[in-house]
Chains A and B, each alone.
Chain A
Amino acid sequence: MTEQMNTQDLLSIEDLSIVYEVDGETTYAVNNLNISLKRGETLGLIGETGAGKTTTALGIMGLVPNPPGRIVNGKVIFDGEDLLQLPKEKMRSVRGNRISMIFQDPMTSLNPVMTVGEQIAEVIQIHEGVSKQSSFQKAKEMLEMVGIPAARSGDYPHQFSGGMKQRVVIAISLACNPDLLIADEPTTALDVTIQAQVLDLMKDLKTRYNTAMLLITHDLGVVAQVCDKVAIMYAGEVVESGDIRDVYENTKHPYTKGLFGSIPDLDLTVGRLKPIKGMMPDPTDPPSGCKFHPRCPDATAMCSLSEPEPVLTESGHTARCFMLQAMAEPLAAQKPLTELNRVQG
């Protein structure tokens, strides 16, 4: 791989906005979101439930349920092509092939009336145009690769445990050797010991095939384990993003600080956890100005009036907060993160 290719973004989301419209009420799920990802890189997308993480993922996949969902603006540029402009048929050939997705709940994401072998073989048949027989052969290899004996390919999902089902889902998603893997809380539904196994497996396979990964989670520990970069989402926006080490060590945004602050530290004897006060804003009626200001301990009068633009921190990542804006030069309005990465790189 040339240096040129390595620095080019594999995925770059620019100003993506997605809304859900139900009975005349609009839910602003994703608002002017910008993220980018290079080949082989892992980006952790962190946020509370309802922050718009899954909607973002579905937006990339072109699977936002419509109605009620609608992508109102933005671009999803994947390998130089805007996926949102692709005709349906072409998008189908991307899905499961070049971009694939692992869903949150393995218990419900496999078809109960098809054998796991069939379900893995299907994706191979669709995208690689091979015979039924050789697709089943490859399905068996995929099963072995995720640590399930090939002999079990004729079994149905209900005959597997949760962790094994998630392995099957991983086998399906990696069967066509995708460039980008979107993992939507892949370990949330699993118990802790299995979580570690599944994460290790994903990490291992990802490195082996140089797959880029967008890991959606609310588990900061998981992000620290696997990710190169991180983007923190709040109310449909990225509030802070950049290199994982930098964001963890030089946290700037009050929301991110709050997130980290709510992790209990076993070395300190404290009576209570420190939650972020308040609730996520109602997405049908987002607050004015900075979306976090109603909960922000450092909020000033300005925060409720206008929205802060992402700025580059002195350590080199970006955050959206007026406290930083006072110190640093704001990036040009609406400037995609792609630009920013070049500055960083």
Chain B
Amino acid sequence: MHRFILKRLLLLIPVLLGVSLLVFAIMSFTPGDPAQLILGENAPAEAVAELREEMGLNDPFVLRYAHFVGNAVTGDLGQSYTSGRDVFDEIFSRFPNTLILAALGVLIAVVIGIPIGIISATRQYSMIDSGSMIFALLGVSMPNFWLGLMMILLFAVNLGWVPSGGYSSWSSLIMPAITLGTGSAAIITRMTRSSMLEVIRQDYIRTARAKGVAENVVINRHALKNALIPVITVIGLQFGMLLGGAVLTETVFSWPGVGRMMVDAIRQKDTPTVLGAVVFLATTFSLVNLFVDLLYGFVDPRIKSQYA
């Protein structure tokens, strides 16, 4: 088990190197001069050239990347070009906001998705099943920023029940969390349903019935635990994606999270912030996946024995 975790953590190194190299290259080779950006449009050319030299922007690409990695391993992700603040601190001051939003989104998705998936599977082809599948299809295919905008229009602008954006009180959480949760809920519903449908046709479910086990126990005890294995993967992926990919939702709701910070930074060509945010999100995504893999072991004993 420990060896498994260690191996997975070591695998993070090449992943992060690859991700950061890619982003570093994109940021370097796209037009725009950070020195000019910092000094402003009207700065004299000599000053810009001097700053470029000072920031090491004239060094070869490889050297600059090596420099970045060298600093990053010590926890120094550099300073933002625009605010001058430490990128590392900036990320960690915003991360709790992103985390709480993603966690709440996933919670909503799980609380809605799993029970509906189970009910749909146990009553396949019934009205309930068809109804929930239609909603799931809607949820999957509807862009969530659009849902966010519509909710702002209805609940914030017209009804004035909740604030339209920002993070002022807990009520600011409601709409972004629902926006994020809807898509995931739909995916989790469909996954739970199909996984459950497969499991309830297994021989061991027939064995349980032959033992005289009550139908609700057959479903909730014998079938659910088996059906949850693929669902857990999906939940983990969704959580990882909400952590990193809540960019649109955070933008729509002006949520002070890492996603929005990254979008702002890209717009302003704030390379250190973009790099820091991407590396950070890649790390969290990988760690969430590792956690999910470990979770399997608790659900499925067959997988646990492979970790040894």
- Known: A92-B214, A122-B213, A126-B213. Contact between A111 and B208, CB under 8 A? yes
Interface centre among B202, B209, B212, B225 (most CB of A within 10 A): B212
Instruction: Name the CB-closest residue of A to B228.
Output: A113
**Does B3 sit within 8 A of A, measured CB to CB?**
no
Chain A residues in 8 Å Cβ range of B202? 108
Chain B residues in 8 Å Cβ range of A113? 225-226, 299-301
Decide: A108 and B210 in contact? CB cutoff 8 A: no
B 283-300 binary contact with A (CB < 8 Å = 1; else 0):
000000000000000011
Interface centre among B211, B226, B299 (most CB of A within 10 A): B211
- Provide the bound-state CA to CA distance between A100 and B213, in Å: 12
- Known: A108-B202, A111-B226. Contact between A61 and B210, CB under 8 A? yes
Instruction: Name the CB-closest residue of B to A126.
Output: B212
Decide: B206 and A109 in contact? CB cutoff 8 A: yes
- Pair count A-B, CB < 8 A: 70
Measured between C-beta atoms, what is the minimum distance from A171 to chain B in Å? Answer: 12
Measured between C-beta atoms, what is the minimum distance from B203 to chain A in Å? Answer: 4
A 144-173 binary contact with B (CB < 8 Å = 1; else 0):
000000000000101100000000010010
Decide: B212 and A92 in contact? CB cutoff 8 A: yes
Chain B residues in 8 Å Cβ range of A96? 210-213
Decide: A93 and B207 in contact? CB cutoff 8 A: no
Measured between C-beta atoms, what is the minimum distance from B208 to chain A in Å? Answer: 7
**Does B204 sit within 8 A of A, measured CB to CB?**
yes
**Does A127 sit within 8 A of B, measured CB to CB?**
yes
**Does A95 sit within 8 A of B, measured CB to CB?**
yes
Taking a contact as CB atoms closer than 8 A, the residue among A61, A92, A109, A123 that contacts B203 in the complex is A109
Taking a contact as CB atoms closer than 8 A, the residue among B204, B206, B208 that contacts A112 in the complex is B204
Chain A residues in 8 Å Cβ range of B64? none
Chain A residues in 8 Å Cβ range of B141? none
**Does A46 sit within 8 A of B, measured CB to CB?**
no
Chain B residues in 8 Å Cβ range of A169? 207
Decide: A103 and B206 in contact? CB cutoff 8 A: yes
- Known: A109-B203, A112-B204, A113-B301. Contact between A100 and B225, CB under 8 A? no
Measured between C-beta atoms, what is the minimum distance from B289 to chain A in Å? Answer: 22
Q: At the interface, is chain B mostly helix, strand, loop or mixed?
A: helix
Decide: A93 and B226 in contact? CB cutoff 8 A: no
Number of interface residues of B (CB under 8 A): 20
Instruction: Name the CB-closest residue of B to A63.
Output: B209
Measured between C-beta atoms, what is the minimum distance from A232 to chain B in Å? Answer: 25
A 270-283 binary contact with B (CB < 8 Å = 1; else 0):
00000000000000
Decide: B204 and A123 in contact? CB cutoff 8 A: no
Measured between C-beta atoms, what is the minimum distance from A128 to chain B in Å? Answer: 11
B199-250, CB < 8 A from A: 202-204, 206-214, 222, 225-226
Interface centre among A92, A95, A113, A122 (most CB of B within 10 A): A113
B 243-278 binary contact with A (CB < 8 Å = 1; else 0):
000000000000000000000000000000000000
Taking a contact as CB atoms closer than 8 A, the residue among A101, A111, A159 that contacts B210 in the complex is A101
Chain B residues in 8 Å Cβ range of A159? 305
- Provide the bound-state CA to CA distance between A111 and B214, in Å: 16
Decide: A63 and B210 in contact? CB cutoff 8 A: yes
- Known: A105-B203, A109-B203, A112-B226. Contact between A95 and B210, CB under 8 A? yes
Instruction: Name the CB-closest residue of B to A124.
Output: B211
Decide: B226 and A63 in contact? CB cutoff 8 A: no
Interface centre among A93, A105, A108, A112 (most CB of B within 10 A): A112
Taking a contact as CB atoms closer than 8 A, the residue among A92, A127, A158 that contacts B302 in the complex is A158
Instruction: Name the CB-closest residue of A to B223.
Output: A111
Instruction: Name the CB-closest residue of B to A120.
Output: B211
Decide: B301 and A123 in contact? CB cutoff 8 A: no
Instruction: Name the CB-closest residue of A to B202.
Output: A108
**Does A97 sit within 8 A of B, measured CB to CB?**
yes
Chain A residues in 8 Å Cβ range of B222? 111, 114
Decide: A156 and B302 in contact? CB cutoff 8 A: yes
Interface centre among B210, B225, B299, B305 (most CB of A within 10 A): B210
Chain A residues in 8 Å Cβ range of B208? 111
**Does A94 sit within 8 A of B, measured CB to CB?**
yes
- Provide the bound-state CA to CA distance between A284 and B211, in Å: 32
Taking a contact as CB atoms closer than 8 A, the residue among A103, A126, A156, A158 that contacts B207 in the complex is A103
Taking a contact as CB atoms closer than 8 A, the residue among B204, B206, B214, B301 that contacts A158 in the complex is B301
Taking a contact as CB atoms closer than 8 A, the residue among B203, B214, B226, B300 that contacts A103 in the complex is B203
Measured between C-beta atoms, what is the minimum distance from B65 to chain A in Å? Answer: 47
**Does A110 sit within 8 A of B, measured CB to CB?**
yes
Decide: A111 and B211 in contact? CB cutoff 8 A: no
Instruction: Name the CB-closest residue of B to A156.
Output: B301
Instruction: Name the CB-closest residue of A to B210.
Output: A101
- Provide the bound-state CA to CA distance between A111 and B305, in Å: 16
Decide: A100 and B210 in contact? CB cutoff 8 A: yes
Instruction: Name the CB-closest residue of B to A61.
Output: B210
Measured between C-beta atoms, what is the minimum distance from A95 to chain B in Å? Answer: 4
Q: Which 5 residue pairs of A and B lie closest in terms of their CB atoms, listed nearest first? A: A96-B212, A96-B211, A108-B203, A95-B212, A156-B301
A-B contact pairs, 24 of them (CB 8 A): A61-B210, A63-B209, A63-B210, A93-B212, A94-B212, A95-B210, A95-B212, A96-B210, A96-B211, A103-B207, A109-B207, A110-B204, A111-B222, A112-B226, A112-B301, A112-B302, A113-B225, A113-B226, A113-B300, A123-B211, A126-B211, A126-B212, A159-B305, A169-B207
- A-B contacts besides A103-B206, A109-B206, 12 pairs, CB < 8 Å: A92-B213, A95-B212, A103-B210, A105-B203, A108-B202, A108-B203, A111-B207, A111-B208, A123-B213, A156-B301, A158-B302, A172-B207
